[in-house]
């Protein structure tokens, strides 16, 4: 069922968010994102600008047939009529009218300088364009919102005219006038003052649309709501031009958890983390780990002091329960770790340390020693879990032993690069020699290792090296500096990270790959030798 009309959560990911550098959505991408947004329970989904480009026109045509929304109202975006053209004759207005969208958002100039320089028309004609366009679409049966572009800049330059833009739109039948901080240069106290004044000077229902150029998009949106705005526009994950738009996930969580203002259907907020990351997969933009509420680091704890307190009561170092947004608390293991960090992390990983203080102390000491040599376990949970199992059981989980390896890189006469690896392993009492090639020595090593072991462990065919990071830790030894390698591996159902450290980058990689394959076999239910 549609959410309440008393307060609007208005998503513009598919239009304003898609203007982000490096983000390019197909029609089917947009359909899938729209379904996720509807699952989250937003009130309005702005689909794009039909008639302005072929992709958006195709999307609206397909959406009419395939997009079945449970909660949201679908919205088309466009501009007011052109100067000196009748609204009924304007091609782009016709596209909005024929889009099938029950609601339309019209962008209009609220800054007199833009009217003069961008539209190249008079202030009076701009008001007529707003009046005619809103009235025309209302007469066609569509709900109309107005995006007052550059409103805050316009308000500073010519308050009376900016307010008149709002009055004209509302008198013509617009439901909401969204004040747009188009350049993203405002601060929260300034936003609050202007919103309060607009509400006092007009009878309009006010919305807010903020960009993040000062880092204040969310704060500005919250300030506007506090001042009386009842319609908030933003994008999922803060996508958008330049530094992005206001992040709707953060705004929604702030409203529901901090202000106790329910703006989504019941229990929908718990889907925030899942949907945020699902959309990130579609956009192919790595989500920020430090994103409020939905970032994987949003409830991650590293300091031993924090861990000790969290062990008593998680609320001592968490402002909200991570489950409220579908996230989880994570303990990070590092050289800052104490007993509490190790105990909580072992619980998180499902490794029972049996309350053995001596064992926990030994693990703490080992972690600190290894971290001093360049290992990092906060980015390599799988390697840390193997360490825990080794210390808890007195033996490292093992399915094979790497006896020997050799990698070669050759440039052929035709300038092609040929990389090969030879690996000898012992597994289940058998010595296995295997070879592999790849686009580099690490890839060749990985292919050789798994090709040999697949004879005994065919499930290794599911494994894929999905990410590989190298960092030179200290330069004091010149070319002999310590190298840390982080490897991400997937079996199609999940990913895990492992670490290796050595003066030689291939040796460090081999360590990380050995952990990756070992952990992968444990995930498949194999029992170690």
Task: Write down the pLDDT at residue 309.
Answer: 58
- Token couple for 88: 């009924």
Residue 233 lies in a domain: yes
Is the residue at 359 inside a domain?
yes
Whether residues 117 and 223 fall in one domain: yes
Indicate if the pLDDT at residue 313 is higher than 70.
Answer: no
Residue 1 placed within a domain = no
The CATH number of residue 247's host domain is 3.20.20.70
Q: How many CB atoms lie within 10 A of CB 431?
A: 10
Kindly state whether residues 84 and 139 are assigned to the same domain. Answer: yes
Distance, CA of 485 to CA of 513 (rounded, Å): 10
**In-domain check, residue 150:** yes
Residue 59 sits in the same domain as residue 179:
yes
**pLDDT category of residue 131 using cuts at 50, 70 and 90:** very high
In sequence order, what are the residues at sequence separation of 6 or more whose Cβ sits closer than 8 angstroms to the Cβ of residue 445? Answer: 405, 407, 421, 423, 436, 438, 506, 509, 510, 513
Considering 221, 252, 283, which residue would you say is the last residue of a domain? 283
Examine the domain organization and report whether 86 and 221 are in the same domain.
yes
Claim to verify: residue 47 and residue 149 sit in the same structural domain: yes
Got the DSSP string for 490-513?
E-SS-EEEEEEEESSHHHHHHHHH
Element (H, E) at 248: helix 248-253
Q: Is 25 in the same domain as 163?
A: yes
Which pair of tokens denotes residue 367? 């972690």
Note the pLDDT tens digit of each residue in 262-276: 999 998 998 998 889
Element at 408 (helix H, strand E):
strand 401-411
pLDDT for the residue numbered 503: 86
For residue 506, pLDDT beyond 70: yes
Domain assignment of residue 406, given as a range: 401-523
Last residue of a domain, one of 283, 312, 329: 283
Q: Please state the rounded mean pLDDT for residues 405-412.
A: 90
Q: Give the model's pLDDT for residue 177.
A: 98
Same domain, 417 and 380: no
- Verify that 170 and 259 share a domain, yes or no: yes
Do 307 and 261 share a structural domain?
no
Query: Is 529 part of any domain?
Result: no
Which region among 99-108, 176-185, 326-335, 412-421 has the lowest average model confidence (pLDDT)? 326-335
**Same domain flag for 240 and 275:** yes
Q: What percent of the chain has pLDDT over 70?
A: 92
SS3 labels along 419-463: EEEEEEEEECCEEEEEEEEECCHHHHHHHHHHHHHCCCCHHHHHC
Q: Between vectors from CA 357 to CA 352 and to CA 359, what angle results, nearest 5°? A: 65
Give the tens place of pLDDT for each residue, 55-97.
899 999 999 988 899 999 999 999 999 999 999 999 999 999 9
CA distance 240 to 244: 4
pLDDT at 306 > cutoff 60: no
Mean pLDDT on 457-471: 87
- Which pLDDT band, with edges at 50, 70 and 90, does 304 fall under? low
> pTM for the full model?
0.71
Q: Where a domain ends, among 283, 318, 347?
A: 283
67: helix, coil or strand?
Answer: coil
Summarised one tens digit per residue, pLDDT across range 168-207 is: 999 999 999 999 999 999 999 999 999 999 999 998 999 9
Between 416 and 160, residue with greater pLDDT: 160
Residue 375 has pLDDT above 90, yes or no: no
Considering its fold, how many domains does the chain have in total? 3
Shortest CA distance to 45 belongs to which of 19, 14, 18, 66? 14
Comparing 289 with 315, the larger pLDDT belongs to 289
Q: What's the longest Cα–Cα distance across the chain? A: 89
How many Cβ atoms from other residues are within 10 Å of residue 419's Cβ? 19
- Please say whether the dihedral angle defined by the alpha carbons of residues 208, 214, 218 and 224, taken in this order, is positive or negative: negative
pLDDT at 303 over 70: no
Round the average pLDDT of the chain to a whole number and report it. Answer: 89
Smallest CA-to-CA distance from 186 within 156, 228, 207, 161 is with 156
Whether 475 is covered by a domain: the verdict is: yes
Residue 330's pLDDT is 64
| Residue 293: inside a domain | no
459 occurs within a structural domain: yes
Looking at the fold, whether 312 and 435 belong to one and the same domain comes out as no
| Residues 306 and 278 reside in one and the same domain | no
| CATH number for the domain harbouring residue 423 | 3.30.160.270
Which carries the bigger pLDDT value, residue 295 or residue 265? 265
- SS3 (DSSP) at 330: strand
């Amino acid at each position: 069922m549609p959410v309440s009309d008393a307060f609007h959560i208005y998503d513009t990911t598919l239009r304003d968010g898609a203007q982000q550098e490096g983000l390019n959505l197909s029609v089917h991408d947009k359909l899938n994102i729209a379904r996720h947004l509807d699952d989250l329970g937003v009130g309005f989904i702005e689909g794009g600008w039909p008639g302005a480009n072929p992709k958006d026109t195709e999307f609206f045509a397909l959406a009419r047939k395939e997009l079945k929304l449970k909660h949201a109202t679908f919205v088309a975006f466009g501009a007011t009529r052109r100067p000196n053209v009748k609204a009924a004759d304007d091609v782009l207005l016709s596209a909005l009218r024929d889009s099938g969208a029950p609601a339309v958002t019209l962008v209009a100039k609220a800054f007199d300088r833009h009217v003069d320089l961008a539209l190249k028309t008079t202030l009076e004609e701009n008001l007529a364009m707003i009046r005619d366009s809103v009235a025309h679409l209302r007469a066609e049966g569509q709900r109309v919102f107005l995006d007052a572009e550059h409103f805050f800049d316009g308000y500073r330059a010519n308050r009376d005219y900016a307010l008149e833009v709002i009055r004209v739109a509302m008198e013509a039948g617009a439901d909401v006038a969204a004040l747009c901080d188009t350049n993203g240069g405002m601060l929260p106290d300034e936003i609050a003052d202007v919103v309060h004044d607009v509400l006092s000077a007009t009878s309009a229902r006010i919305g807010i649309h903020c960009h993040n150029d000062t880092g204040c998009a969310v704060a500005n949106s919250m300030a506007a709501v506090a001042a009386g705005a009842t319609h908030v526009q933003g994008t999922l994950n803060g996508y958008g031009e330049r530094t992005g738009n206001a992040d709707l996930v953060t705004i929604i969580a702030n409203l529901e958890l901090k202000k106790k203002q329910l703006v989504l259907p019941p229990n929908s907020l718990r889907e925030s983390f899942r949907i945020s990351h699902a959309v990130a997969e579609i956009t192919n933009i790595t989500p920020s780990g430090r994103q409020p509420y939905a970032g994987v680091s949003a409830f991650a704890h590293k300091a031993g002091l924090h861990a000790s307190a969290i062990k008593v009561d998680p609320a001592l170092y968490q402002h909200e329960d991570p489950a409220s947004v579908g996230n989880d608390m994570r303990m990070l293991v590092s050289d800052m770790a104490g007993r509490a960090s190790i105990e909580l992390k072992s619980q998180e990983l499902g490794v029972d340390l049996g309350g053995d203080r001596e064992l926990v102390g030994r693990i703490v000491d080992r972690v600190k020693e290894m971290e001093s040599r360049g290992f990092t376990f906060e980015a390599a949970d799988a390697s840390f879990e193997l360490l825990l199992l080794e210390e808890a059981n007195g033996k490292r989980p093992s399915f094979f032993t790497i006896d020997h390896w050799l990698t070669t890189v050759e440039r052929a006469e035709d300038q092609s690069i040929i990389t090969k690896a030879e690996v000898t392993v012992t597994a289940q009492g058998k010595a296995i020699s295997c070879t592999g090639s790849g686009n580099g020595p690490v890839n060749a090593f990985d292919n050789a290792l798994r090709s040999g072991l697949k004879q005994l462990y065919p499930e290794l065919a599911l494994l894929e090296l999905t990410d590989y990071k190298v960092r030179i830790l200290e330069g004091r030894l010149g070319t002999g500096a310590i190298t840390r390698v982080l490897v991400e591996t997937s079996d199609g159902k999940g990913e895990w990270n492992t670490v290796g450290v050595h003066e030689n980058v291939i040796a460090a990689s081999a360590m990380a790959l050995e952990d990756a394959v070992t952990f992968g076999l444990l995930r498949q239910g194999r029992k170690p030798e």
